[in-house]
Amino acid sequence: MVTPERRLPRSVDVRASAKINLHLGVGAAREDGFHPLETVYQAIGLHDELVATEDEAFRVVTHGAAYVDVTDVPVGADNIVARATALMAARVEVEPTADFLVHKEIPVAGGMAGGSADAAAALLALDRLWDAGTPDDELLALAAELGSDVPFALIGGTALGTGRGELVTPIADSGPWWWVVVPSSAGGLSTPAVYRRFDEMFPGADPEPASAAAVISALATHDPHRLGAALHNDLQEPAIDLRPDLGDLLDRGESEGAVRGLVSGSGPTCLFLAESPTAAHALAGALRGSGQPVVLVAAGPVPGAQVVDAP
C-alpha cells in the first residue's frame, strides 16, 4: 500500500528593527487629520521576530522580553499582523490564514514603531510563504496602507520620510551611531494623543514641516557632537507635557555624559546619543544606577525587515 506523502507546514522567520527619528519635523494637520512630516528615520539594533507558519486558520500569539508589556497589543481584527494578513491575502487572492508567533523586544506604544515592524515582517513573511513574488514598490504601497512608518520598517537603514512619513528615500549615513535606549517603565503613550497635544500646544504651526537638512549633513560627518546638536523632534514638547517625567530623564542622561537626549518619535521611550560604544555602556550603567529598571544599548543604522530562515 502506498501511503500519501505528508508534508510539514512551511514556516518563514523574519526579523524587523525598531526605528528612531533623528529629525521629526511636524507641520500643521492636513485635511485628512494626518500631519505632514519631514523626518529622518534610522533603524537600530533592537528587533522583533515573527515566525509565520502555514495554517488553515488565522492565529497570532505575541510574547516579549520581560520589559515589553504585550497586554497593550491589540487583539482580533485590529492587530496589525491580522491587518497585514488580510491586505496581503486580498492582493494574492488566497485565504487570510497563517499561524504567527511574534517575539517582541521593541517596546509597545513606545515611539519606536514596534507595531510597524511587525506589520512589515508579516508582509515579507507572507510574500515568501505564499510564493507571491510581490515587487518592492507594491510591497511598499501595501505597507503604507498599514501605517505611516511601515514602509520604513521594510527598508531600514537611514531614510528621509515625507508625506505622512510613508514616502521613504534612503540617505547616506556614516554610522554606526551608538544609542542608549530607555523604555518607559510607566506604560506607553498613544501616538494620536501626542499629535493631538501638538495641535493644542501649537495652533499656529506652519503647514510646512521643519527641514531635516542639518541632520542629513551631520550624518555625513561621523561626528556625534554634530549629530547631537542637529537632533530635532517636534513631538518632544507634547510628549513631555503629557509625561513630565520624560523631561527629568532627558536631563539626567545629559548630566551623566550623553551627547544629547531625545524623546523617540511620539515617546515615551527616551534615547541618548553616546560618543562611542564604551561611552554608551558607561551611560547605561549610570542610568541603571539612578534607578532606571531597563536600559538598553543599540547601534544604528541596521537593515529593515529581513528573512532569517525560510524553506
Q: Which residues are catalytic?
A: 19, 149
Rounded least distance, CB 164 to ligand C5P, Å:
3
Q: All 3 cell numbers of residue 41?
A: 528615520
Residue 147 or 224 with smaller CB distance to ligand C5P: 147
- How many chain residues interact with ligand C5P (CB under 6 A)? 11
The only residue of 19, 35, 128, 232 in contact with ligand C5P, by rule CB under 6 A: 35
Q: Which is nearer to ligand C5P, 47 or 164 (CB)?
A: 164
233 sits near ligand C5P (criterion: CB under 6 A) = no
List of residues 6+ apart from 95 with CB closer than 8 A: 56, 89
Q: Taking CB under 6 A as the rule, does residue 34 contact ligand C5P?
A: yes
Choices 143-151, 201-209, 223-231, 297-305; region in contact with ligand C5P by CB under 6 A: 143-151
Q: Do 124 and 139 form a contact (C-beta atoms < 8 A)? A: yes
In angstroms, the CA 36 to CA 29 distance is 7
- Cell for 184? 518607559
Give the count of beta carbons closer than 10 Å to the beta carbon of residue 133.
Answer: 9
Among 252, 277, 110, CA closest to 180: 277
Nearest approach, Cβ of 31 to ligand C5P (angstroms)? 12
Asked whether position 38 contacts ligand C5P by CB under 6 A, the answer is: no
In the complex with ligand C5P, the residue whose CB is nearer, 10 or 196, is 196
Which residues in 147-166 contact ligand C5P (CB under 6 A)?
A: 147-149, 164-165
- Residue list 177-216, contact with ligand C5P (CB under 6 A): 191-192, 195
**Does 300 interact with ligand C5P (rule: CB under 6 A)?**
no
SS3 state of residue 37: strand
Positive/negative CA dihedral, 116, 118, 119, 123: positive
Minimum Å gap between C-beta 147 and ligand C5P is 4
Q: Where are the beta strands (DSSP E) in the chain?
A: 11-26, 37-53, 58-64, 98-104, 158-162, 167-170, 177-182, 232-233, 260-263, 270-274, 296-300, 306-309
User: CA-CA distances (angstroms) from residue 245 to 23, 31, 116, 266?
Assistant: 22, 33, 26, 15
Find the part of the chain contacting ligand C5P (CB under 6 A) among 31-39, 56-64, 98-106, 176-184: 31-39
The binding site for ligand C5P (CB under 6 A) comprises 34-35, 37, 147-149, 164-165, 191-192, 195
